[in-house]
Amino acid sequence: MCRLSRQFRFHEGVKLELLLNCLEREAYLVRVAPSWFNKYVKLGAAKDATSAANLKASIQDLENANSARAKVGSRRLKVSPILTAISMIDADYQKQGGVHHPQYYKYEDSLENISAGSEPITIWMTEKNNWKEDVRKNSSLKSLEFHPNWDNQAYTDAVMGAHGYKVAGHYTNLVNRNHRIMGMAHMTDNNYGYADVYNASSKNNKGSLTLGQYKSLVNKWLNR
């Protein structure tokens, strides 16, 4: 058992040098582990989301995410260790092949994007064109580009690509201006070659780190 479990439950900002060893283990302990956890999650294995190489790759993804947000006027997000852990577990879930949302976490309104076989931020940002077409179809959607309204059925349809709308949900999730924190993970054991998972939330930013702080601590941990 990871010794950080009690501390982790109440404070996400513990020293990352220690926390990184425990990210997935902690998400496993704090939440009820999914039935497939031991099948797909292999802590530290070369192709696992927790490997050194894939952890470094996820940092680049985080930087790309914040750059994409900044370009459309959305704030840069901090990094949440818990959302990072959830993203790692959900990335490892993609080892079964294809792209699937596990849908077992209920973490404070976290919204998730998954990509496989393509640079994630670039592919998600291409949905901006879909959003523009959806707005042309229904001009009432225009004000919801950065501030979602899930009670609005037209918005939900546009995000999901239902009833004649084009899928735009990965884009709207990425640029969501209500969000404060994020986590990302990269794994390299999928039939597409690799998969990336992004989770973001508007809540629970206590204990989160700036991307610069997170990057510095990760690099320090990897080079220890």
Q: Residue 168 maps to which CATH number? A: 3.40.33.10
Q: At residue 36, does pLDDT exceed 60?
A: yes
The pLDDT of 1-28, averaged and rounded, is 42
Q: Is residue 6 part of a domain?
A: no
The residues, ordered by sequence, that sit 6+ positions from 51 with a Cβ below 8 Å of its Cβ are 44, 45, 188
The pLDDT of 179-191, averaged and rounded, is 91
pLDDT single digits (tens) 82-138: 889 889 888 988 887 778 777 655 555 789 999 988 999 999 999 999 999 999 999
Q: At residue 52, does pLDDT exceed 90?
A: no
Q: Is residue 189 part of a domain?
A: yes
Q: Is residue 101 part of a domain?
A: yes
Q: Is residue 115 part of a domain?
A: yes
The residues facing 201 across adjacent strands are 181
Single-letter amino acid code for the residue at 24: E
Number of domains in the chain: 1
- The torsion region of residue 157 among left (phi > 0), alpha (psi -120 to 50) and beta comes to alpha
Residue 165: its pLDDT value, please? 98
Q: Is residue 9 part of a domain?
A: no
Query: DSSP string spanning 162-185?
Result: -TTPPP-HHHHHHH-TT--EEEEE
Q: Is residue 90 part of a domain?
A: yes
| pLDDT, the chain, mean | 83
Q: At residue 41, does pLDDT exceed 70?
A: yes
Query: DSSP string spanning 74-124?
Result: PPPPEEPHHHHHHHHHHHHHGGGSS---------TT-EEEEEESS-HHHHH
Give long-range contacts, CB 8 A cutoff, 24+ apart: 122-129. 122/64, 123/170, 124/68, 124/170, 124/171, 124/173, 124/174, 124/198, 125/68, 125/171, 125/174, 126/171, 127/166, 127/167, 127/168, 127/169, 127/170, 127/171, 127/172, 128/168, 128/171
The residues facing 200 across adjacent strands are 111, 182
pTM value is 0.84
pLDDT-wise least confident of 20-24, 38-42, 148-152, 170-174: 20-24
Q: Is residue 173 part of a domain?
A: yes
- Domain of residue 21 covers 14-223
pLDDT-wise least confident of 10-19, 152-161, 170-179: 10-19
Q: Is residue 8 part of a domain?
A: no
Answer yes or no: are the C-beta atoms of 170 and 113 closer than 8 Å.
Answer: yes
